Structure 1
């Protein structure tokens, strides 16, 4: 199924038009989740420094849960009459964000960058949830459950970046590299 095409059928109670809109929104969520699982593994493999083991071990359960989210999303696309496409080529061709920009780096630098990654995914998930909630509470419920976990994972990341006064080292960062640099600089204070 090409993007923006209505499916030939969908779940009972939804029009094929609404099913198509939901499929398109879920397509981008699937791409984001697949990208996130790969990014988390990239960080897992490339984190160094004194916080290495804490971050290294924190990320594997996140990867596992994000992969489950991708599977749930792909299966919902299928249930709605769509075709979930999870190949790297489709992900890269359709995504609207740049590739993760931090290579081998200190744990705090990676966590700073991941804070921005999670913010982008959470904001896009919330936007999709708001749109989907107008016509399909079942898919909305899937996104709510995913958001619960994604927000918890971001909290785990932010716990490393937050000062005792409640400010985030990444607060004014606009790119992953800026966030990585800000987090690393803040950790040296």
Structure 2
């Protein structure tokens, strides 16, 4: 642990929140890489719109990951956001490397966004139960972004 720059939280709560932030950070890094994998490889009708959308989504996801990583450090911990850490700790299912069909990518991404969103909502509850309103608020912001991006991506599915 390094110096903490938060007040009003005991060490046990800070440690729990740092661990929780890093758990969700691993998922966010893995999901961001899945979005880029789809961005690079998708083909089919509607390609350019989804291709460009996924770049915007990846940017928002990196911002969310940055919020979580910085909060962990502010709380006196370390951000654990390397590809190796994400690979070892993520709860997100590995993304299919050979997928090309745009509808397949939309489905695979939407499923992963929904799972990640559910995990972030659980993190909101855990932060609330721990009495850490700031981390709770951070996860709420991330949750809203994940839901919106799931909607943006899923809206490209064939009806």
Q: TM-score, normalised by structure 1?
A: 0.78
Which has the larger helix fraction?
2
Q: Is the 8 A contact 1:48 1:104 kept in 2?
A: no
CA offset at residue 43 of structure 1? Answer: 0.4
Q: Which has the higher contact order (CA 8 A, sep 6+)?
A: 2
Matched, 1:84 2:66: no
Match of 1:116 among 108, 111, 116: 111
Q: Which residue pairs with 1:148 in the alignment?
A: 144
Q: Deviations over 1:122-181 (max 9, x none)?
A: 000000111101211111111111111110111112212363xxxxxxxxxxxxxxxxxx
Q: Which residue pairs with 2:126 in the alignment?
A: 131
Distance 1:84 1:137, change over 3 A: same
Alignment: residue pair count? 158
Q: What CA distance in whole angstroms lies between the structure 2 residues aligned with 1:34 and 1:137?
A: 24
Distance 1:53 1:82, change over 3 A: same
Q: What CA distance in whole angstroms lies between the structure 2 residues aligned with 1:162 and 1:20?
A: 45
Match of 1:15 among 4, 10, 14: 10
Q: Is the 8 A contact 1:115 1:157 kept in 2?
A: yes
Q: TM-score, normalised by structure 2?
A: 0.92
Match of 2:43 among 31, 36, 48: 48
Matched, 1:159 2:159: no
Larger Rg: 1
Q: Is the 8 A contact 1:102 1:110 kept in 2?
A: no
- Residue range with higher mean Cα deviation, 124-133 or 151-160: 151-160
Q: Is the 8 A contact 1:8 1:16 kept in 2?
A: no
Q: Is the 8 A contact 1:11 1:79 kept in 2?
A: yes
Which stretches in structure 2 are left out of the alignment for 5+ residues?
Answer: none
Q: What CA distance in whole angstroms lies between the structure 2 residues aligned with 1:52 and 1:162?
A: 13
Cα RMSD (Å): 1.7
Q: Which residue pairs with 1:172 in the alignment?
A: none
Q: Which residue pairs with 1:106 in the alignment?
A: 101
Q: Deviations over 1:95-132 (max 9, x none)?
A: 23331125241111100111111011000000011110
